[in-house]
Structure 1
Amino acid sequence: MSRQAVAYAQRIRIADERAQRVFLLLAERTPALGDPRDGEPPVMGLELPDADIPALAARAGIDAAEFRRLLRVLKQTVPMDVLEHADGVWEIVYGPSYTDRKKPAPGSGASREASDGAPQAFWMPGWDHYSTWGYEDGLGHLYAQIIHNQDGPDAEPRIWITPPQYLVRTVDELAQAIADAIAPYAPVPPPAAVIKMWLSAPPAHRAR
């Protein structure tokens, strides 16, 4: 359990007492990140298996269906991400980067390399039809959603580069994270330098 996450959840006041209890239960399940002496981490989160929800709901004094409903609406009350994955896992990300939004300092790696916040194309062959990456405006980090061409535009990304598993702030860091994650899908894993090239521009012979 992360004491920092619990302390953070306690200072975020939610008018709906049931939603407050759900948020505190999520905080109690959040793994600790880094050294507590370093202060409150900017991003915290957890992966919650749907099978665990009935027990958590009982602790909150509500049923499982209400717990799931509160999870879905919680992000409308507290700035956070709540993602429902097809494998029955809820990915929940929150923290000071969401509630204490600050623009990065001028010239920082993320703002310099993806300054307008618009989704950028990822040009790796076989992954270039639907994959995107970009800068989370106000959160200070980059993200990527990597979808294989054969999966289609509405498919769940095979690769998510997003907190809490990844907290990347420059294109070099993003390229390395994608290179590591995409290696199992490639007969010859591309190095980070090649991934960075595919983040930057399409191959010269291609037109989009």
Structure 2
Amino acid sequence: MSRHATAYVRSLGITDGTALTVLTLLAALTHAPGDPHRPEDIPEVMGLYLQDSDIPDLAAQAGLAPEAFRRQLRGLRQHVKMDVLEHADGVWEIVYGPSYTRRPEPRPARPDLTRGGPHPFWLPGWDHYSTWGYEQGPGGHQHLYAQLLLNQDGPDAEPRIWITPPQYTVRTLDELAGAIARALGPHQPVPMPASLIRTFLTSPPPAPRDGALSDGVG
């Protein structure tokens, strides 16, 4: 008897008595390795292969006719998330466990771009090493900075563009985007509007089609 599988089945709170009896019988046949003295350490996935020739004996233990037991097997997924596969060769493949029934973890929130850093700068050609963020200046006043490197220069090169006091004192994303747009002028064949620069500060660009990567340089 598998104490781990049985403990898991009991934790499910199945209200249908017949379904609970059938799944408990399956749990007793399940191989679930682990410390037998710690049934709470339940494996993420458990399962067993059941021969159709085993069903008459199991059905008798459940107080059911063999065909009624088979119907219960087919209906177990109505009571708990699991896989019950009935193969043509008479083998029943039954897989279940906490990985099926655990509530999904909430997706992480988008990064808070209103503080901290460094945050990435996703302008193609400048997106490998460039960063921006917030820092404290004299008197405790917070301002934004940007450190922009061309991809071709490598991570150890001096930034082509520094947006930082005293030359620049910017306190909002719009101001930072405007300062970057002006500083990028000599490096771009066509001036880029600040509104577009702002999108590269806050959102990665969509993936290119057909695997083509744009890695333009100034």
TM normalised by structure 2 equals: 0.45
* TM-score, length basis structure 1: 0.47
Q: Which has the larger radius of gyration?
A: 2
